[in-house]
Amino acid sequence: MTATGSDGIVVLGTEQQAAWGRRELPPIEKLPGGIWSVPVPIPDNPLRYTLSYLLPGDTGVVVVDPGWNDEETWSALLAGLEVAGFALDDVLGMVATHVHPDHHGLSLRLREATGAWVAMHPAEADNMPQRMGATTPEIRRRGMTQILKVSGASDEDIEELLTGGNPRSEPDFRMAEPDVLLEDGELVPLPGRRIRTVWTPGHTPGHICLADEDTKVLLTGDHVLPRISPNIGLNPSAEGAPLADFLASLQKVAGYDDHDALPAHEYRFRGLSARSAELIAHHEERCRELVAVVASLGQPTMWQIAVGLTWSRPWAEIGRMRFAALGETAAHVQHLVGRGELAWVAGEPGGAPRVRVDG
């Protein structure tokens, strides 16, 4: 069954959509081409689950985005393999669309249990947490403190953000290193299938989608979701222009409009061209809002801009998601500086950078 979404978008995963509305896990489902969709929980997270995919080949199965490193997630993945008729010994490899912990966190445990290879894009391997030095809670706390100070957050704001939280929801940064690097256009090494890598930087530097050329499906990871706009944040440790990259990547996947979209969250849909256009329009609208906020504040810090923007919930209620909000604000500021609409302001030595409307 299908259902009509917004203009040009058709919901294919109607049971998934219904479960999303009920705040429940959707069912394990067999899809065209023998692909299996397996929801695996994300503990204490509003996204609730990642949609992991099982890609069967001639000699075994490849798991795409095994999920968060948690016992509940592990049990759900094992249940999905069993329903699909596979055992751990059948797992040949894993592909990480990107290395966020709700996608790649369980890969290390799965490799230890199976001996399977792990694959990702080279740019993602270059930006793994261990490459950034974020290997202990103390190091991560120092890094987050510095980001908040540079953004212009007060000492009170910093203390509020860095205390509390649920230890169970803290990610484990011991992540599996890749054995296989997948460049743009390369095939996943799975005998019996033609699964092609589509490099889509933006959400992360090495984010990839996977195109099944025979079945006409595109596993979109977090790049294109049917309802949510993925976070596009500026990482102080990484180079590049994430928002410009993301917008270009949307144009790229719009060319797969004849493919069904299998995202990592929410539900399956058709209409990649229409959804890509919606996301491009959303970010342009966000840019217009951000310029207006800067104009109203004069020469604000990144923190002041973020506070002035609209979010899905009031700023005072989004808690630790303020880190993602700051990253997204910074990515849009960088993009607008590059377009000549904003300019950096030379501040006091050691002070938080500020911006103004250019011209």
Task: For the chain, 359 residues long, give each residue's pLDDT as a single digit of tens.
Answer: 345 456 789 999 999 999 999 999 999 999 999 999 999 999 988 889 999 999 999 999 999 999 999 999 999 999 999 999 999 999 999 999 999 999 999 999 999 999 999 999 999 999 887 766 556 667 777 778 888 888 888 888 888 888 755 555 555 567 899 999 999 999 999 999 999 999 999 999 999 999 998 999 999 999 999 999 999 998 765 568 999 999 999 999 999 999 999 999 999 999 999 999 999 999 999 999 999 999 999 999 999 999 999 998 899 888 888 989 999 999 999 999 999 999 999 767 777 889 999 87
**Which residue, 55, 124, 38, is CA-closest to 92?**
55
- Distances from the Cα of 2 to the Cα of 14, 16, 283, 310, 334, angstroms: 6, 11, 28, 33, 40
- b/e string for 150-177 if b means 16 or more Cβ within 10 A? bbbbeeeebeebeeeeeeeeebebebbe
Residue 200 makes CB contacts below 8 A (sequence gap 6+) with: 207, 208, 209, 221, 223, 249, 252, 253
pLDDT in tens, 192-244: 999 999 999 999 999 999 999 899 999 999 999 999 999 999 876 556 899 99
Per-domain boundaries in the chain? 3-130+169-281
Alpha-carbon distances, residue 352 vs 121, 240, 293, 316, 338 (angstroms): 34, 21, 18, 21, 20
**Contact (Cβ atoms closer than 8 angstroms) between residue 182 and residue 197:** yes
The pTM of the full predicted model, rounded to 2 decimals, is 0.92
Question: Are the beta carbons of 174 and 108 closer than 8 angstroms?
Answer: yes
Class (C level, CATH) for 3-130+169-281 = alpha beta
| pLDDT (tens digit per residue) in 235-292 | 765 568 999 999 999 999 999 999 999 999 999 999 999 999 999 999 999 999 999 9
How many residues are there in the chain?
359
